[in-house]
Structure 1
Amino acid sequence: MTVLPADGLSLAAEFPDPAHEQWQSLVEGVLRKSGKDVAGSAAEEALSTTVEDGLITRPLYTSRDHAPDAGLPGFAPFTRGSKAEGNAANGWDVRQRHRLTDPARLNEAVLADLENGVTSLWLTVGGATGVPVSGLARALDGVYLDLAPVVLDAGSELDAAATELLRLYEERGVAAESARGTLGADPLGHAARSGSAPEPAAAVHWAERCAKEYPGLRALTVDALPYHEAGGSAAQELGSSLATGVAYLRALTGAGLSVEGACAQLEFRYAATADQFLTIAKLRAARRLWARVAEVCGAADAGAQRQHAVTSSVMMTRRDPWVNMLRTTLACLGAGVGGADSVTVLPFDHALGLPDAFARRIARNTSTILMEESHLARVIDPAGGSWYVERLTTELADSAWAFFQEIERAGGQAAALGSGLIGERLAATWAARSKDLARRKEPVTGVSEFPHLAERPVEREVPPAADGASGGLPTVRRDEAFEALRARSDAHLASTGRRPRVFLAALGPASAHTARATFASNLFQAGGIEPVHDPATVDASTAAEAFATSGATVACLCSGDALYAEQAEAVASELRAAGAQRVFLAGRPAEYPGVDEYVFAGCDVVAVLSSVLDRMGVA
């Protein structure tokens, strides 16, 4: 007799509970069919994936994957959110970034954003890349400063920009308790970007003033983006932010602020990537770690970290930039689910220059759709309770804490930046990731995978260059190696009227050669090399003529292993006799006379394409 639960629905109650060992047995059977004879935990390990920071994601997570108690939203350790209601009350703050230098144009863009869903403004002020401090009043003309929080990014012009913003509050009758936003003081972040020595005195001054006069205004930003944009991992980004936050706590408490008061002056800024689960775990881990810092400092209740998530510029591509809309949507989803208080979605054309009105509209609507149509903000901590997310949060927090301790042993964030320790660690991480990118183990859609040579370029106004040469941390992009190859192809097209070409010598019927011909076509186009696949099939008697009429200087054999054994040597010989400078074969390396090089899944695509362009004389 089946006993129904109280709600009257049996659902899966009639089925026996499966055991973990049963699942492993099924995995063993599948792996055995693919040639891997492993058993037990080894079978599970065969399906595991190593990601950044040495973390391993497994194919199955169960209640056996213990993690520390995440607590409740709004309570220490704040893993589940800094507020008890999460974002369920009003959703997250939609914060738009602006880099325009002309006050009138900036004002037009700002008003359009505020009228269409944006709830706070992030303004670059001063220098060659921002609106002049003297133009801030014009840029904010018509903005209700008591309703729209303003976040400044003024770098070395912090004093002038902060003074002007507070003057505007007073001039426009905004009560001190109604002022919201962040002055953006971040001496260590500025030092990381510029290579200059950090000067914390101004940051301390503004923190003291905000604490006394403007209770809703924060003075300091702990910006972790410089470390992410230099190629750092999630744990390195978190560790650097912790070290920076601790340095600011020391400076502020040394000036007389309480620990609680010092914590209230900080807003933390993190990158959100298209790896939505890693983004969720990173934001949850950041809150847990900062809560631990506050606890050690004797202010456990002040450990609710204020978070601003920004979609990653490292993941943005210049080729096929429309795909960036998908990337930023995933990143925004991860930031929202992860509990970020404010989210900035960079426009899809961010890597190309200043965004147009359409790009800004898509950026702000990304948050709107996720909140208003997908109802993402109606659930408090949507990822909470997921064994995978909870375990990933814990492992990432452990790795980040280890990096934070390394920085502290080196004397703190300022010392670690000055000695080059942080730069060295980030560079090593990026070098390892670059190898994965070059081998397409980390594919970049539209760039290293599925490139479109005939796409119409998207052109945007290029913003002014930053003042002077930067001696700080570098900025990297996932597409940079492939972008360099494509730029060479573009220059060749402009000077000769034609892209460099490769002839795809397809052997046998379509069923035999289609898979590898498609693979080779995709691979060569990633370097801007146009594939010629005409005629659809060749053999030793037709290869020379087909190659001669293709306009190519290199060729690639495409077929199955059986036909390679029969025809590869003869066709390669004919192609070489017809003038082919180099003959490739799509497949794993073997001994085929006449074949110079092999292209296959996992090969160093960047190295292959670079050498091919060199041989073709493409500068």
Structure 2
Amino acid sequence: MSRTDRQADAPAPAHADAEVPAEHEVPSDLALAAEFGATTRDQWRELVAGVLRKSGREELPDPVEDALSRTVATGVRVAPLYTADDAGDLPTAVGVPGLAPFVRGSRAGGDPAVPGGWDVRQRHAHPDVAVTREAVAADLENGVTSLWLVVGDGAVPAEELGNVLADVYLDLAPVAVTGGLPAAEAFLALVEGRDDLAPGGSLGLDPLAVHAATGERQDLTCLAGVARRAAAHDGLRSVVVDATVFHDAGASVVEEIGCSLAAGVAYLRALTEGGLSVDEAFGQLEFRYGASADQFTTIAALRAARRLWDRVGGVSGASSESRAQRQHAVTSSVMTTKRDPWVNMLRTTVACFAAGVGGADVVTVQPFDAALGLPDSFSRRIARNTQSLLVEEGHLARVLDPAGGSWYVESLTDSVARAAWDWFTEIERAGGLVAALDSGLVRDRIAAAWDDRAARLATREDAITGVSEFPNLAEKLPERQPYTWSAPSGGLPKVRAAQEFEALRDAADGAQERPRVYLATLGPVARHTARATFAGNLFQAGGLATPSGDGASGLAEASTTVACICGTDKDYAESAAALAKELRAAGATQVWLAGKPDLAVEGVDGYVFAGCDALHVLRAAHEHLDLSAVMAINAPSGEGAGA
């Protein structure tokens, strides 16, 4: 029995104005914090400053919370504390679910086509028709409510679309295709004459995404004709604004949303110039966004995107009902790792949670092995069960916009919306998205955003579990069939957060023998274990084994010329310079020290510490161990993973 069948009689999501039984009413005079004294922000700041000074911070910013703030997107910082004082500048009209400005959701209740939850959409791109047909059947029988088929060379052949969908009840399961005009034409030919298609499908036309990926201008004049044919089928949309092409290039949510608005406006112009009314044009668009494991940023981004699209609709003259942005959230390819891929299950669970809480109409969880190749039946099962767990066991969709009203979430939503709108208007001033792509404006802006993120990744401020932190050098990666399509080139790049660390791991794995960094410890275990553990974790992130020993005694047995001294500051002052000399006498030609540079130990080549540029350290060690040539040989030519 499918999830739709089981939930046919499921109760509607809870509403704020639902009638509450008298015995369950909370007394209006209940003082939950009566035993706690009032605390001001200034008092909190004094306490924070005291803690920071005890941790060694001598110079503190004003206000002190700036020391604890972090950047989550271009021009968007998150503070450590939000109170009612922060609500003063926020828009008061966030509305209610299903009504403008749609911040709290595009629907007043659950999707009528998917009682009790959002649309669970699984992606299929296997070129073997029999394999895809079997996978489609397994998905629909086990919780998936709609299909997403990648059509074209290296994926599902357009001429085999009918065979792939032969066992699918198209009046029950919406189908979305990706593959340009040939895919759209193939699907329209398949359903010609039918009037019972399940609403929620998509023809996936997105010429601007192709332009962004290839650098080549595309024809938009065909959109209106296809849209009129799609309009013959209730709920079938012709155009997808696929913002994941910007997300996958390294954009923050600000660039992703701003570019999606610019693409949406370009499509509105093309559709209305082709004869569609404004409302009809709005009804032909679906928006696709990346959902990352940065939970609250993803929630805020989806809310902000709906608010801004409503604003576009308002100035375009669209009716209030047509301005609700239909959103398809896809778990991020950027966050997906090849190494320790099992951790991707946790990342996609958080991303799926954020997409659901953020109000996405459709959610796709990418299989945990997507970066390795074509997923198998196990990884697809885990992907769909992730959503089933959140919807059916967690009842996540039973409450609309559960994050709404939080000072933090509302403030973050507002900050993202303002920054994204500024970027959108900059694109429009440059002549629109086509001109901004041609001029390099979009590429340069996204590159700057990625440079900021890459710097945080290099220092492990943004840690990647299983890759830059807590790597497993003994892991055996699952084998997967490689993708058979060629990644587009000539336009925006495709990046992954783990790519630089994984390149180092590949180089180390490609050596005839596992390369090593010897950890030369000072003093008893209690004194050196903290820094030895830290240094070992850092060097292992580059695929380097880290045998250890007392002083220089174990260097010869470690069979390496790179060493790292580990101990306490007191031990360093007494013995580190002498140990560095002993290590060099024993054959070490590169010596690191686990500690900060202000220790200034004679004979040391560099320092490893929390916040150091780990990639710089690892590349220097690799070069010294003559692994750079191996890295060049193992460098990938391109990847096919991603949405």
Question: In which range does the TM-score fall when normalised by the shorter chain?
Answer: over 0.9
Structure 1 counterpart of 2:560, which letter? Answer: A
Contact 1:74–1:86 (Cα < 8 Å) also in 2: no
- Whole-Å separation in 2 of the counterparts to 1:572 and 1:348: 44
1:601 pairs with 2:598: no
Give a deviation string over 1:431-487, Cα, whole Å, max 9, x none: 2221221111111111111111111122111011327x6212110000111111111
Contact 2:116–2:391 (Cα < 8 Å) also in 1: no
1:476 pairs with 2:495: yes
Structure 2 counterpart of 1:63, which letter? Answer: A
- Whole-Å separation in 2 of the counterparts to 1:48 and 1:436: 14
Q: CA deviation at 1:10?
A: 4.8
Give a deviation string over 1:534-556, Cα, whole Å, max 9, x none: x3xx24xxx2x421112122111
Q: CA deviation at 1:179?
A: 5.4
Q: CA deviation at 1:369?
A: 0.5
Match for residue 210 of structure 1? 230
1:288 pairs with 2:307: yes
Match for residue 70 of structure 1? 94
Contact 1:320–1:452 (Cα < 8 Å) also in 2: yes
1:394 pairs with 2:419: no
Over 3 Å counting, the alpha-carbon distance change for 1:16 and 1:555 in structure 2 is closer
Q: CA deviation at 1:399?
A: 0.4
Give me the identity figure in percent.
57
Q: CA deviation at 1:380?
A: 0.8
SS at match of 1:352: coil
Match of 2:172 among 147, 152, 173: 147
Contact 1:86–1:339 (Cα < 8 Å) also in 2: no
Contact 1:222–1:244 (Cα < 8 Å) also in 2: yes
SS at match of 1:321: coil
Aligned positions, number? 597
- Whole-Å separation in 1 of the counterparts to 2:307 and 2:466: 37
- Whole-Å separation in 1 of the counterparts to 2:199 and 2:190: 11
Over 3 Å counting, the alpha-carbon distance change for 1:40 and 1:187 in structure 2 is closer
Which segment drifts farther, 186-195 or 523-532? 186-195
Match of 2:214 among 190, 194, 197: 194
Match of 2:622 among 610, 613, 619: 613
- Whole-Å separation in 2 of the counterparts to 1:5 and 1:378: 21
SS at match of 1:269: strand
Structural mapping, 1:443-462, within 5 Å: 443-462=463-482
Match for residue 46 of structure 1? 67
Q: CA deviation at 1:176?
A: 4.9
Match of 1:418 among 421, 438, 448: 438
TM-score by length of 1: 0.93
Give a deviation string over 1:341-399, Cα, whole Å, max 9, x none: 00000000000000010100000011111111111111110100000000000010000
SS at match of 2:371: helix
Q: CA deviation at 1:567?
A: 0.9
Unaligned runs of 5+ in 1: none
Match of 1:221 among 232, 235, 240: 240
Match for residue 580 of structure 1? 588
- Whole-Å separation in 2 of the counterparts to 1:256 and 1:244: 19
Q: CA deviation at 1:14?
A: 4.4
1:503 pairs with 2:515: no
Structural mapping, 1:305-324, within 5 Å: 305-324=325-344
- Whole-Å separation in 2 of the counterparts to 1:267 and 1:145: 19
- Whole-Å separation in 2 of the counterparts to 1:451 and 1:32: 33
Q: CA deviation at 1:31?
A: 2.7
Q: CA deviation at 1:49?
A: 2.0
Which segment drifts farther, 348-357 or 81-90? 81-90
Which segment drifts farther, 186-195 or 48-57? 48-57
Contact 1:28–1:37 (Cα < 8 Å) also in 2: no
Over 3 Å counting, the alpha-carbon distance change for 1:5 and 1:324 in structure 2 is closer
Structural mapping, 1:49-198, within 5 Å: 49-66=70-87, 67-68=90-91, 69-86=93-110, 89-127=115-153, 129-155=154-180, 158=181, 160-170=182-192, 174-176=194-196, 178=198, 180-198=200-218
TM-score by length of 2: 0.90
1:329 pairs with 2:354: no
Structure 2 counterpart of 1:163, which letter? Answer: E
Unaligned runs of 5+ in 2: 1-24, 630-643
- Whole-Å separation in 2 of the counterparts to 1:53 and 1:383: 22
Match for residue 361 of structure 1? 381
Q: CA deviation at 1:86?
A: 4.7
SS at match of 2:202: strand
Over 3 Å counting, the alpha-carbon distance change for 1:575 and 1:325 in structure 2 is same
1:569 pairs with 2:590: no
Contact 1:86–1:381 (Cα < 8 Å) also in 2: no
Which segment drifts farther, 429-438 or 265-274? 429-438
Match of 1:375 among 392, 395, 402: 395
Contact 1:547–1:578 (Cα < 8 Å) also in 2: yes
SS at match of 1:476: coil
- Whole-Å separation in 1 of the counterparts to 2:613 and 2:53: 29
Match of 2:541 among 526, 532, 539: 526
1:466 pairs with 2:521: no
SS at match of 1:11: coil
Which segment drifts farther, 435-444 or 270-279? 435-444
Match for residue 591 of structure 1? 600
1:431 pairs with 2:451: yes
- Whole-Å separation in 1 of the counterparts to 2:50 and 2:545: 43
SS at match of 2:554: helix
Q: CA deviation at 1:593?
A: 1.9
- Whole-Å separation in 1 of the counterparts to 2:457 and 2:119: 34
- Whole-Å separation in 2 of the counterparts to 1:179 and 1:17: 53
Q: CA deviation at 1:335?
A: 0.2
Over 3 Å counting, the alpha-carbon distance change for 1:554 and 1:374 in structure 2 is same
Q: CA deviation at 1:41?
A: 5.6
Which segment drifts farther, 373-382 or 188-197? 188-197
Structure 1 counterpart of 2:101, which letter? Answer: P
Structure 1 counterpart of 2:109, which letter? Answer: E
Which segment drifts farther, 272-281 or 184-193? 184-193
Over 3 Å counting, the alpha-carbon distance change for 1:392 and 1:226 in structure 2 is same
Match for residue 404 of structure 2? 384
Over 3 Å counting, the alpha-carbon distance change for 1:420 and 1:40 in structure 2 is closer
- RMSD (Å), alpha carbons: 1.9
Contact 2:221–2:274 (Cα < 8 Å) also in 1: no
- Whole-Å separation in 2 of the counterparts to 1:367 and 1:331: 11
Which segment drifts farther, 590-599 or 436-445? 590-599
Structure 2 counterpart of 1:502, which letter? Answer: V
- Whole-Å separation in 1 of the counterparts to 2:199 and 2:51: 61
Structure 1 counterpart of 2:521, which letter? Answer: A
Over 3 Å counting, the alpha-carbon distance change for 1:562 and 1:241 in structure 2 is same
Q: CA deviation at 1:570?
A: 1.4
SS at match of 1:453: coil
Over 3 Å counting, the alpha-carbon distance change for 1:179 and 1:64 in structure 2 is closer
SS at match of 1:531: coil
Q: CA deviation at 1:22?
A: 2.9
